[in-house]
Structure 1
Amino acid sequence: MPYLIETYDKPDAEALRLAVREEHLRYLDSRAGLLLACGAKLSDDGQTASGGIYLLDVEDRTAAEEFIAADPFSRAGLFRQVVVARWRKAYLDGKNCL
């Protein structure tokens, strides 16, 4: 069942994000089968990330929470807030999924 996870970085954490980024990407690669979509939230100029959005296909909220807790960004203390919510796919890639 789909879950949306939205993360918010701590202030002034860009150096930490960059230091852990490669480990974070390897983590995502190793769990790619669970990811419907994933990516960073960026400043308007596209230069600075401030958090991320993950759309996961997992069994339940516990699995979604475990996924984000194991993310190297979480383990490094990057996030000031994490929000986990069930998600209903209505449109994806311009197609109605209902």
Structure 2
Amino acid sequence: MPYMIETYDAPERAHVRQERYAEHLEFLAEHAQLLLACGAKLADDGTHAEGGIYLVDLETREEAEAFIARDPFSRGNLFRDVVIRRWRKAYLNGECFL
């Protein structure tokens, strides 16, 4: 069953996002086969990211925890909080899976 990983940036560590961005993109490319979707959560004015959402095709919470722990943003201590939840795919790209 897929997992949703929601991250919340620590505002005082916002510089980590810039410093590790290229490495983060490489990490995502290396794990593209696991990604159903992912992207940054933006501030309402769209000027900066405040965290992210990853929908990952993994079987266990432990795999989801290990995945986000290897992300360069995690290794750089960018996140103030990470929430991991099982996710049931109902609609994706306009297609119903129920």
Shorter-chain TM-score bucket reads: over 0.9
Given residue 14 of structure 2, which amino acid in structure 1 is its aligned partner?
E
The corresponding residue for 2:66 is 66
Aligned mates of 1:95, 1:13 — CA distance in 2: 38
How far has the Cα of 1:94 moved from its partner?
Answer: 1.7
Superposition RMSD in Å: 0.9
The corresponding residue for 1:82 is 82
Q: How does 1:17-56 map to 2 (within 5 A)?
A: 17-56=17-56
Given residue 39 of structure 2, which amino acid in structure 1 is its aligned partner?
G
The corresponding residue for 1:6 is 6
Aligned mates of 1:43, 1:53 — CA distance in 2: 14
Runs of 5+ consecutive residues of structure 1 not aligned to the other structure: none
8 Å CA contact 1:64–1:84 kept in 2: the answer is: yes
The corresponding residue for 1:16 is 16
8 Å CA contact 1:9–1:80 kept in 2: the answer is: yes
8 Å CA contact 1:4–1:55 kept in 2: the answer is: yes
Q: Paired residues, what number?
A: 98
| TM-score using structure 2 length | 0.95
**What SS class does the counterpart of residue 5 from structure 1 fall into?**
strand
| TM-score using structure 1 length | 0.95
Aligned mates of 2:62, 2:11 — CA distance in 1: 27
Aligned mates of 2:44, 2:30 — CA distance in 1: 30
